[in-house]
Amino acid sequence: AAEVDVELVLLADVTGSIDVEEARFQRQGYAEALTDPRVLDAIRNTLTGAVAITYVEWAAANAQDVVVPWTIITGPDSATAFAEVLLAAPRRAYGRNAIGAALLKGKELIESNDIQGLTRVIDFSGDSANNFNGPSVALAREAVLAAGITINGLAILCRGCSGSSSGGDLARRFEREIIGGPGAFVVTAETRDTFAEAVRRKLILEISGEIPNPVVAER
């Protein structure tokens, strides 16, 4: 098995509240963050100098699409190749929120790959904490944590975005209901301008293994 510091599943929300334009800017934000020199520095300074990442768009219980398969990133070339695949792929997942199914998909992807990570993380993003179909969030979260996988969160508040916001204190719901594991945390993104920065900051924390405060706000 290939050895890396982190196995990281990026679970990106493309449910009904996320329109085509918003799904596109989410991908752009991740592409910009993954190729950012500060993220690449964090990868270079890990024990193995490598991380493994896959990008999955989630929606309904039967709609989790692996947009970019597991890719080992060691520097600018592999990061750029990942970003190019991410930006070129069509959107294929649609439907109402199935957070529990998305978390279990992340667990399955981690447990079925041929990669050995020092840490294993599901990076869940969404603009709602509601679950309308599929397994419950609580049961899925319990299964993921029992497998030794950490869940971090990116709460998309979407103020000024083209889609709709779930409203309420989304970060607190993520903290109570979704994230878990050693050093788990939530980052929030409120606008297009802060999205890529929120992703960048979260990736650096996950790759470096730093433990932030329980909720890290990007405003």
pLDDT tens profile 166-194: 555 899 999 999 999 998 999 988 777 78
Cα separation, 215 vs 175, whole angstroms: 8
56 or 160, which is more confident?
Answer: 56
H/E stretch holding 78 reads helix 76-88
Angle at 82 between CA 18 and CA 118, to 5 degrees: 100
Lowest mean pLDDT among 86-95, 158-167, 198-207: 158-167
pTM value surpassing 0.85: yes
Per-residue confidence (pLDDT) for residue 212, from 0 to 100: 63
Beta carbons of 31 and 67 less than 8 angstroms apart? no
pLDDT of residue 189: 84
44-80 confidence digits (pLDDT tens):
999 999 999 999 999 999 999 999 999 999 999 999 9
Q: Kindly report the number of other CB atoms within 10 A of residue 64's CB atom.
A: 23
Residue count (the chain):
219
pLDDT averaged over the chain? 89
> What's the mean pLDDT in 150-156?
94
Cα-only R_g, the chain: 15
pLDDT at residue 211 tops 70: no
Q: Cα–Cα distance between 194 and 148 in angstroms, integer? A: 31
* Predicted pLDDT of residue 87: 96
Please tell me the predicted confidence (pLDDT) of residue 56.
97
